[in-house]
Structure 1
């Protein structure tokens, strides 16, 4: 299939094609019910259930494609967006200084905007130096060689350090050429110091194991970063952008929360609601047993063990914790709707028979109907079955032991003699 010719009318969604963000980003799309199949060696995949095309790009290029309006949405790291913005600022500054900047009236705004913090891929962009080296502070690296793949961010960082150092020395403020040399490296940045290419580096640190193995230590943090969802300032379909953002937000919220359900006496309701206040408010239903209520509330997953302990101390019983698959726009939905999206299927039955969350009037109506109609009919059917079985058995015995006779009308109805049969 010629995928390029099938992009007309589709919203373009840029996704990291590989690297540390790829697998988690794809799982997030699956949770948002964005259905697609990526063919081998193809960087474009058409979504089956929505007018969307996924474009697989290097994470560093996604802010450029989204910022220039070639893609409507994208998943990338905040560090990549910050680097893209720093590069745009540097270009605009150079053009302004050279007098080549000519704004065009009516031109569409360019750039990208952050929509959501996706809460994965957390790491830090840090200044690193050899552990056994002579550089101990970032200021010691002014005028030295710095290796990095984040050229624009590193340049801004050291430009600020140089301006602070000049101000401390009493020099007049103003634009000056950068004295620190920024060396662009596209990979294996941590090896630059050992190979003598750089005196220090600016690189991403996730766990710190690679940095320690290379004999480096961090002396400052430039920015902290996570994966984020970004959109163009001029998306082709704003409604669809909002829909996707809502679905992804629902998946993220579902990963952070669980649904806690329990029964408690009404006199303890105020105390337990302080422990489980919910996202907006707890859902409370009266039980058949007088003085008892059922409570449902969303609780942060990382707090659930402590919350269960506190609820038990306050007299809560029959505590259940249910996982949530999705909760789109949680701030605008009542928590009763979460039961339709929980992981436990079917839902657990009420823990005890003496407590029921059904309305008492409905239960009383059903009980009266059962006593007046259903129970007598069941009993009559049982007696009729016994009578028919007894009549059939008695008729069979008479035929086996005594002379043949026509018997009663009921026996003749139940037993018809076949031609040629001794019975």
Structure 2
């Protein structure tokens, strides 16, 4: 059986979460910081630790079968790969930002101005779409200091919290692209059984992170009303309690609806609500 290769960041904002995801999928390996390759002992998989900019090309050229990388890197490198699964971490936005005391107020005010960025391809497409003729100055790192040094009138860069912009006297000006980590694969290899198995494992971990396991007690006469509030994977499990006329209801609730559902359940007569994390959900 052919051993798969998956490329992830050697260091950077996606490394820790990528390693955590793979370990949560039941893969056993060492995260060697000084090594470029780690072999999984319980699955036919090798993990390549690479620079994030190199990952898309490694996958496109077949050196790696899979990769975990930011959507922004895919857009910047313009490679031909398959998008297999959004992963829900490494979320950020690529924004234009300007100095706090600038006279730039609209996109058209960028006409003829200089914009510093590490993402010239994405920026060029955005400017062309908005029919703006600006000078793009490509800088690899520390983009946020360029306006203060007089190198540019604006910057285009990744923004997660906005703290770096604020500390450099900058303010967000326009959102250009949202990004998160994504699992990519080589074109034409999507149906590989090993790839499909790994995707299934990843999806089970992601589903579990998005839900809570809930057990609650309720009087029998309130069960019908409570069940209407519960989505469950298929339907809630109902178990009679030792006390006559009472049951325990087991279900899962999406994280996004959790507190709203809990409030409604209590109003419908739910008592003794116990909430537990879920490790995996396999459909």
TM value normalised by structure 1:
0.63
Q: Which residue of 2 aligns with 1:366?
A: none
**What corresponds to 2:36 in structure 1?**
43
Gaps of 5+ in 1: 1-7, 89-110, 166-178, 333-423
Alpha-carbon distance in 1 for matches of 2:71, 2:33: 29
- State the match for 1:277 in structure 2: 231
- Aligned pairs for 1:62-211 within 5 A: 62-85=55-78, 111-162=80-131, 179-211=133-165
Pairs within 5 Å for 1:14-413: 14-85=7-78, 111-162=80-131, 179-235=133-189, 238-287=192-241, 291-301=245-255, 303-328=257-282, 332=283
| Secondary structure at 2:136 match in 1 | strand
Tell me if structure 1 keeps the 8 A contact 2:96–2:157: yes
Q: 1:222 to 1:236 in 2, by over 3 A?
A: closer
Q: Which structure shows the higher strand fraction? A: 2
Report the Cα distance in structure 1 between the residues aligned to 2:187 and 2:224, rounded to whole angstroms: 46
Partner of 1:407: none
Deviation, structure 1 residue 303: 4.2
With CA pairs under 8 Å and 6+ residues apart, which has the higher RCO, 1 or 2? 2
- Across the aligned residues of Structure 1 and Structure 2, the Cα RMSD in angstroms comes to 2.1
Q: 1:181–1:119: structure 2 CA closer, same or farther, 3 Å change rule?
A: same
Q: CA deviation at 1:310?
A: 2.9
Is this contact kept in 2: 1:69–1:233, CA < 8 A? no
Change (3 A) 1:152 1:292: same
Please say if residues 142 and 161 of structure 1, whose CA atoms lie closer than 8 Å, have aligned partners that are also in contact.
no
SS in 1 for 2:53: coil
- The answer as to whether partners of 2:10 and 2:33 remain within 8 angstroms in 1 is no
**Is the 1:69–1:235 contact (alpha carbons within 8 Å) kept by the matching residues of 2?**
no
Distance in 1, Cα, partners of 2:258 & 2:93: 29
8 A contact 1:13–1:54 mirrored in 2 = yes
1:238, 1:290 → 2: CA distance?
53
Identify, as 1 or 2, the structure richer in helix: 1
CA distance in 1, matches of 2:272, 2:130: 60
CA distance 1:139–1:235, shift in 2 (3 Å): same
Between 1:264-273 and 1:283-292, the stretch displaced more is 283-292
Change (3 A) 1:11 1:158: same
Contact 1:142/1:158, CA 8 A, preserved across alignment: no
CA distance in 2, matches of 1:40, 1:131: 40
Deviation by residue 1:345-365 (Cα, 9 ceiling, x = unmatched): xxxxxxxxxxxxxxxxxxxxx
Q: Confirm or deny: 8 A CA contact 2:214 2:275 kept in the other structure.
A: yes
> How many residues are paired up?
283
Q: Secondary structure at the match of 1:60?
A: helix
Cα distance in structure 1, aligned partners of 2:157 and 2:272? 51
SS in 1 for 2:52: coil
TM-score, with length taken from structure 2? 0.92
